[in-house]
Structure 1
Amino acid sequence: MKIPGKLVTVNQHQMHVYYQAAGPLRPTIVLLAGSGTACPTYDFKALWQLLKKDYSIAVVERPGYGWSEITEKPRDVDTLLEETREALKQAGISGPFIPAAHSMSGLEAIYWAQKYREEVSAIIGLDMAVPAAYEEMALPKAFGLTVCIGQILRRPIATAMVRSHSAVKKGLLTKEEQDDMKQITAQQLLSKNMVSEINYVKANAKKVAGGACPQIPVLCILADDKNNLKNIPSWGKIHKEYFAANQQTEFLELTCGHYVHNEEPERVAKAIEEFVN
C-alpha cells in the first residue's frame, strides 16, 4: 500500500504527515482530525484539494490514525500537542501555522495557541470543540460494549464508511486511494489510541479551559448537525461565549452535518481563503 505522505519518528513510533507546499511565503494550514476519523489524509481531501494551490497544506495523523503507528504514550493534551509539533519538525515543516481543527482537535488547536503563541498565527475551527463542550458530554453507558462490537465488525463498517464518504462520492479518490482508505479504516477504526483519547477528553478540556482564550484571528465554522446538537444542545452558544473574549473571531454557520469540510468543502474553502487573505 502506497503511503501518500511521509513517515517520521516521534517518541519511538512512526507518525504520518501529508504535506503539499505552495511556496515559502504562503501560510501553512495544519489540518487536525476529530476523534475517530480513521483516515484523516483522505477524509480532508475534499478540502485540501481546493486549498493546495494557494496555501501549504499539512495533515498530521495522530498515533492510531491513518498510517501512524499505535503508541503507548498517554493521550493527554500536552502529549498530543508535542507529538504534532515534533512530527511537523521532523517532516521539515516550519511555522507559523494555522491549525484547522475538526471537532475534538479544537482543544489541541486552542492549547497550541495558548502555549506557543509565536507558532500560531490564526485558528480555523471546522465545527471544532471548545472546552465547555465536554462539560455537557457524557460517555454512553454501553461505551465499552460499543467499542468491542465496532472492533469485531471493523471490516464491514469500514467498507460502508468508505463507500458513503463524500470524497468517494465526488470522485476525488482514485480506485487505489479508495482501497487504501478502506484498508486503513478497517485497521484503525476504534484503535486503542482513539478510545484512550475519549477517556482523556474531559481532563484535556479542563486543562485548556484553565488557560486564556487565544487573542489571535479565529474563523469558527459551525454546523447545525442534528446528532451533535442532540448530545450538546448549546453547541453554537458555548462557542460564541468562549470566543466573546476575542474580538478577532469570525463565525460562519452552515446548514450541514458535523463534517463541514466534507459536506460543504467549497463554502468552507472560500471562507478560509477570505479569512486568511
Structure 2
Amino acid sequence: MMKRILMISLKIIGVFVAAIVIFLVTVFTVNLISNKSELGKIADYGQFVAVDGKNMNVTIQGQGEETVVLLPGYGTGSPGIDFMPLVEELSPFYKVVVIEPFGYGLSDISEKERSIDNIVDETHEALQQLNIDRYILMGHSIAGIYGLEYVNRYENEVSAFVGIDSSFPSQPVEEFPAESYELLRKSGFLRLIMKLSPDETALQEVDEATKEQVRMISLKNVMNPNILSEGEQMEHNFKVAQDLTFPKKLPVFFFLAANTTDVEGWEEGHEEQIKDSMHGEVMSFEGGHYLHHTRSKEIVENFRRLYEVK
C-alpha cells in the first residue's frame, strides 16, 4: 500500500515538474518568436541624428521661433509617441524637439554606461547636430535630474527649465535589481507580466494602431542594456545632482501631480529647488505621474503665461 502511494506521489510530482518546464519553455519561445516578428512591424517615425557614432532618433514638429526640447522619464518605451499630447499643445507656438536617448524609442543602443555625464553630453550633441543652440528644456520624471546637470553645464543655451512631475535630487532612490530584471527579460516573463498587468502609463486618447506601436516598441526596449545601466547608475546620478542648484536667473517651472504619496515631501522638495530663483513657480494638477497625458493643455497654458511675464 505504501509503495503504491509513493509511486502515485512521484507521478504527481513528475507531472507537476513537467508542467512547469513546459510553461517556462513556452514563455521563453513565445517571447523569442514575438521579438523577431514585431521588429519588422515597428513603423519608423522622426529622424536620426549622428551622436557618438550611433543613431539617435528625434522628432521635430512646429514652426515657432523658440524651441522646446522634450526629455523623457526613465524607461519610457517610445518618447516620440508618449509626448504626443504635449507636442500637440506646444507645436502651434514653438518648434518642438523630442529626444529619444540611446536605448529609448527607435534610437540605437550605446555601449557607454548611462551616467549623468554621458546622457547630458549625448543630448547636447544631438541638439548641436540639429543646429539648435537656444531652447527651453522641458522634461518628465528623471529628466529633472539630468536637466539640472544640463542647465548648469549649458546655461547660456537654455532659456528656461520646465519639470513635469520631475525628480529632485534629495528624494530617496531605491536599490535597482538589475540582474533580476535582466533574467525576467531574457526568460520572456517581462512580456508576460506586461501583457497581464494594466499599463497605467499608456496613452488613452490614441487609435489602436498607435497603441500597438507603443506596445511593440516598449517590449523591444524594456530593460535593454541601456535601461539596465541607467537603473544601476541612478543612485550615483542622483548624488551628483545633489551638489547642483538651478541658476538664479533661469526661469524654472514645475508642474506636479497633486497629492503624490510615493515620495515624501514631493511638493516641498520642488519648492526648495526654486527658493533662490528669480523666476520660479510650482503648480499642481490632479492626475498621475504621466501628467502630460491628461494635463498637457493646462501645462502649456500656464507655462506660456509664466514664461511670457518672466
Do they fold alike, i.e. is TM over 0.5? yes
Q: Does 1:272 align with 2:303?
A: yes
Whole-angstrom CA distance in 2 between matches of 1:52 and 1:220:
20
Q: Does 1:20 align with 2:93?
A: no
Secondary structure of 1:22's aligned partner: coil
Partner of 2:152: 114
Partner of 1:189: 222
Partner of 1:139: 175
Whole-angstrom CA distance in 1 between matches of 2:277 and 2:200:
38
What one-letter code is carried by the residue in structure 1 that aligns with 2:44?
I
Whole-angstrom CA distance in 2 between matches of 1:199 and 1:149:
16
Secondary structure of 1:118's aligned partner: coil
Aligned length: 265
CA 1:265–1:212 in structure 2 vs 1: closer, same or farther (change >3 Å)? closer
Deviation of the 1:180 alpha carbon: 2.4
What one-letter code is carried by the residue in structure 2 that aligns with 1:268?
I
CA RMSD of the aligned region, Å? Answer: 2.3
TM-score, with normalisation over the residues of structure 1? 0.87
Q: Does 1:199 align with 2:199?
A: no
Deviation of the 1:118 alpha carbon: 0.6
Q: Is the 8 A contact 2:181 2:223 kept in 1?
A: no
**Higher Cα Rg: structure 1 or 2?**
2
Whole-angstrom CA distance in 2 between matches of 1:38 and 1:234:
28
Task: Show CA shifts across 1:184-213 (max 9, x none).
Answer: 111001221112112112222222222333
CA 1:43–1:161 in structure 2 vs 1: closer, same or farther (change >3 Å)? farther
Partner of 2:183: 148
Q: Does 1:73 align with 2:128?
A: no
Unaligned segments of structure 1, at least 5 residues: none
Secondary structure of 1:251's aligned partner: strand
Whole-angstrom CA distance in 2 between matches of 1:51 and 1:159:
32
Task: Show CA shifts across 1:26-77 (max 9, x none).
Answer: 2111110010111111111011111111111000001100000111112111
Partner of 1:258: 289
Whole-angstrom CA distance in 1 between matches of 2:63 and 2:126:
19
Q: Is the 8 A contact 2:270 2:282 kept in 1?
A: no
What one-letter code is carried by the residue in structure 1 that aligns with 2:47?
K
Whole-angstrom CA distance in 2 between matches of 1:28 and 1:76:
26
Alignment of 1:155-170 (within 5 A): 155-156=191-192, 167=203, 169-170=204-205
Alignment of 1:25-104 (within 5 A): 26-90=65-129, 92-104=130-142
CA 1:117–1:244 in structure 2 vs 1: closer, same or farther (change >3 Å)? same
Whole-angstrom CA distance in 2 between matches of 1:161 and 1:247:
44
Q: Is the 8 A contact 1:166 1:263 kept in 2?
A: no
What one-letter code is carried by the residue in structure 1 that aligns with 2:183?
C
What one-letter code is carried by the residue in structure 2 that aligns with 1:261?
H
TM-score, with normalisation over the residues of structure 2? 0.78
CA 1:201–1:93 in structure 2 vs 1: closer, same or farther (change >3 Å)? same
Whole-angstrom CA distance in 2 between matches of 1:44 and 1:75:
22
Q: Is the 8 A contact 2:245 2:273 kept in 1?
A: no
What one-letter code is carried by the residue in structure 2 that aligns with 1:78?
D
Secondary structure of 1:210's aligned partner: coil
Task: Show CA shifts across 1:122-145 (max 9, x none).
Answer: 000001112112xx22226x5642
Q: Is the 8 A contact 1:154 1:187 kept in 2?
A: no
CA 1:21–1:265 in structure 2 vs 1: closer, same or farther (change >3 Å)? closer
1:247 to 268, 278, 281: 278
Unaligned segments of structure 2, at least 5 residues: 1-41
Task: Show CA shifts across 1:256-276 (max 9, x none).
Answer: 211110132221222222233
Deviation of the 1:2 alpha carbon: 3.2
CA 1:125–1:165 in structure 2 vs 1: closer, same or farther (change >3 Å)? closer
CA 1:160–1:276 in structure 2 vs 1: closer, same or farther (change >3 Å)? farther
CA 1:238–1:156 in structure 2 vs 1: closer, same or farther (change >3 Å)? same
Identity %: 26
What one-letter code is carried by the residue in structure 2 that aligns with 1:217?
P
CA 1:48–1:198 in structure 2 vs 1: closer, same or farther (change >3 Å)? same
Q: Is the 8 A contact 1:224 1:258 kept in 2?
A: no
Q: Is the 8 A contact 2:173 2:234 kept in 1?
A: no
